[in-house]
Structure 1
Amino acid sequence: MYGSFRVLLQVLSAQLLCVWVLGSELTFELPDNAKQCFYEDIIIGTKCTLEFQVVTGGHYDVDCRLEDPEGTTLYKEMKKQYDSFTFTAAKNGTYKFCFSNEFSTFTHKTVYFDFQVGDDPPLFPNENRVTALTQMESACVSIHEALKSVIDYQTHFRLREAQGRSRAEDLNTRVAFWSIGEAIILLVVSISQVVLLRSFFSDKKTTTTRVGS
């Protein structure tokens, strides 16, 4: 019983360590004509993955740029809705990635990104040992991998739900304005028709001119 509880604590600790050390995940507002940059210190030889998606705003597109510590562009895309880029750090230092909405004049965007640095640490300190894992440890590793997949699926489904809700709200607003416009046009046309019909049946006043002798 104590051994199973200890293994469970190791699984939870490793899960928290992955979230704390390896990932930078954020959803932020990007105003129109604005640019937002983020920085990450990376050691040479570390494998990294940058994934982003525009959740709401305009045509759901944004400019993205990734630079190494010397300012060399590693990745650059214009007006992308979503994308993923994986690279291995060739230099030690601070890497910068920026999202730009400078091409948009009126609409602000909501952007989600996930920047993963390095590989997951081993679930158990002696996972790379020569001897095989016990049945309990193997089950924990399988559960750990399945939980990571569940987290990824949940994140993507939340993003799709937020994007779909934004599209529905935008469509609802357009339909509401269109209905109000149609009602105003119908009212103006009705009043115009009533005035026009009354002008047809109104009595015309005749003007009499008296010629003096």
Structure 2
Amino acid sequence: NNYVGLSSLGHVLVVFGVFGTELTFELPDNDKQCFYEELEKDVRFDIDFQVISGGNYDVDCFVTDPQNNVLYNERKKQYDSFSHTTAMKGDYKVCFSNEFSTFTHKTVYMEFRYGDEVPLMPITRSTALTQLESSCVSIHEILKVVADSQTRYRLREAHDRTKAEHLLERVTYWSFGQTVMLFVIGISQVMLLRSFFTEKKGSVAATT
């Protein structure tokens, strides 16, 4: 089993007070991979994960708090999301398990975010937002949606590409097997026909 700090891995993002880590990792068969992050009290964190390749595209996942209380526990999930607000300070652990698989390794994508987003514009202002400020806020919200959509499309593309490559591999093996079978059948038929002519020639010679 592996235990790794999230802050030291993946693509670390800091956007308006929200810290996040994105990473894609290999999960061998009969193995478990755990990540941890030290969080303060009353901090909200979000976890998104998806199995990109391997077997039935499923994995076990569980999340525990610093006292090893289970906050989330799901088995054989292809993808899921989980949100929680911390009740205490300490190391929170996220684990992915492929121990139920005996020969298939998995590729898993995970995104871990924590913190509260700071408003783009101060909320203590007594005056209304100008048209430019309103446009900035709208663009900011749209860009957040675009970023989430790009992540989903990227994961879907990786998932579909893996399935296509696996299908191509199976078709290649099947075609190779069919080709070998055709050669074997062809050679067998030629040898069978030759045996017929050999037997006929022998019977003619015996009668003469």
In 2, the alpha carbon distance for the partners of 1:128 and 1:104 equals 54
TM-score by length of 1: 0.83
In 1, the alpha carbon distance for the partners of 2:145 and 2:118 equals 16
Equivalent residue letter for 2:137: V
Aligned residues: 191
1:196 aligns with 2:199: no
Give the CA deviation at 1:201. Answer: 1.6
Name the Cα RMSD after superposition.
Answer: 2.0
1:177 aligns with 2:173: yes
Q: How does 1:35-184 map to 2 (within 5 A)?
A: 35-124=32-121, 126-184=122-180
Give the CA deviation at 1:17. Answer: 3.6
CA separation of 1:20/1:39 partners in 2, compared to 1, >3 Å: closer, same or farther?
farther
Q: How does 1:12-31 map to 2 (within 5 A)?
A: 17-18=14-15, 21-31=18-28
CA separation of 1:201/1:187 partners in 2, compared to 1, >3 Å: closer, same or farther?
same
Equivalent residue letter for 1:106: F
* 3-state DSSP of counterpart to 1:170: helix
| Larger proportion of strand | 2
In 2, the alpha carbon distance for the partners of 1:40 and 1:121 equals 21
Residue 4 (structure 2) aligns with = none
TM-score by length of 2: 0.85
Give the CA deviation at 1:150. Answer: 0.4
Give the CA deviation at 1:20. Answer: 7.8
In 2, the alpha carbon distance for the partners of 1:133 and 1:197 equals 92
Query: Which is further off, 149-158 or 114-123?
Result: 114-123
Give the CA deviation at 1:195. Answer: 1.1
The answer to whether the 8 Å contact 1:53/1:112 transfers is: yes
CA separation of 1:128/1:19 partners in 2, compared to 1, >3 Å: closer, same or farther?
closer
Give the CA deviation at 1:112. Answer: 0.7
The answer to whether the 8 Å contact 1:53/1:111 transfers is: yes
In 1, the alpha carbon distance for the partners of 2:170 and 2:34 equals 33
The answer to whether the 8 Å contact 2:19/2:114 transfers is: yes
In 1, the alpha carbon distance for the partners of 2:38 and 2:174 equals 51
Unaligned runs of 5+ in 2: 1-12
Q: Deviations over 1:62-98 (max 9, x none)?
A: 1101000000111111111001111221221110001
Question: Which runs of structure 1 show a deviation greater than 4 angstroms over 4 or more consecutive aligned residues?
Answer: none
Which structure has the greater CA radius of gyration?
Answer: 1
In 1, the alpha carbon distance for the partners of 2:92 and 2:48 equals 15
Give the CA deviation at 1:205. Answer: 7.5
* 3-state DSSP of counterpart to 1:22: strand
Give the CA deviation at 1:192. Answer: 0.9
Q: Quick one: percent identity of the two aligned structures?
A: 58
